[in-house]
Amino acid sequence: MSTPTTDRVALVTGGSGGIGRVAAERLARDGFAVAVQYAGNKARAEETVAAITVAGGRALAVGGDIADESAMSAAFDAVESAFGGIDVVVNTAGIMILAPIATLDLADLDRMHRTNIRGTFVVSQQAARRVRPGGAIVNVSTSVVRTQLPGYGAYVASKAAVEGLTLILARELRGRDITVNAVAPGPTATPLFLDGKDDATIANFAKATPLERLGEPGDIAEVVSFLAGPARWVNGQVLYANGGLA
């Protein structure tokens, strides 16, 4: 069981659903005031805020395109105004479009580049400027960077870039007492992963891990909680949370 923090503030991008929502709710249970960032679905973000509030936590929803530096600057401003500062930024927002490299529509490549790379960069840039000493920045990669499944080329290219910028930012923040890490989930039962896959494909993914199941968003939220709180000696790392997937 985690030890609650006091007077700490977290901003979770993509916090209206999937891993982001569960991570936001977990951080709230850890004692953080939580800002739930959303791009287009305000209602879902407000549902997350309501769930946190009903459970006794503090939360607000903040909108904006993560790849738009002006929108993200305004979002960070709103969080600081509401809660007095920012200690943890968790960047779960991302998109995944699968196709062989030979046939991928380059417009889809550009979409993933804008959200997964530019968006992570913009949010990380704001976080680097604003996160208070003792804080943490957590980005999200994917275990497919290592497993290298066909059809994931463009997505993996975007997430490999996320890993690269994460590791460099950890070193650029020398002396600031801010950790910067990435979590790389394996197959996790979220709409992002399940969409477009038939039952047989999903079953094969579940069997691929020694634990013989898909991950749950809560499994990834546990790692986020660790990196956001007690893991002060873990820095500049990519943690693979995938049930032992090779």
Which positions are annotated as active-site residues?
155
- For residues 117 and 218, what is the distance between their CA atoms, to the nearest angstrom? 25
The phi, psi pair for 3, rounded to 5°, reads -90, 125
The phi, psi pair for 15, rounded to 5°, reads -80, 5
Nearest residue to 142 (alpha-carbon basis) of 16, 242, 227, 37: 242
Secondary structure element (H or E) that encloses residue 88, with its range? strand 88-91
Nearest residue to 90 (alpha-carbon basis) of 240, 226, 233: 226
Burial class (CB in 10 A: 0-12, 13-18, 19+), 167: middle
Rounded alpha-carbon distances, angstroms, from residue 15 to 4, 125, 160, 173, 181 = 20, 19, 22, 25, 18
Tokens (6 digits) for 234 = 């873990």
3-state secondary structure of 239: strand
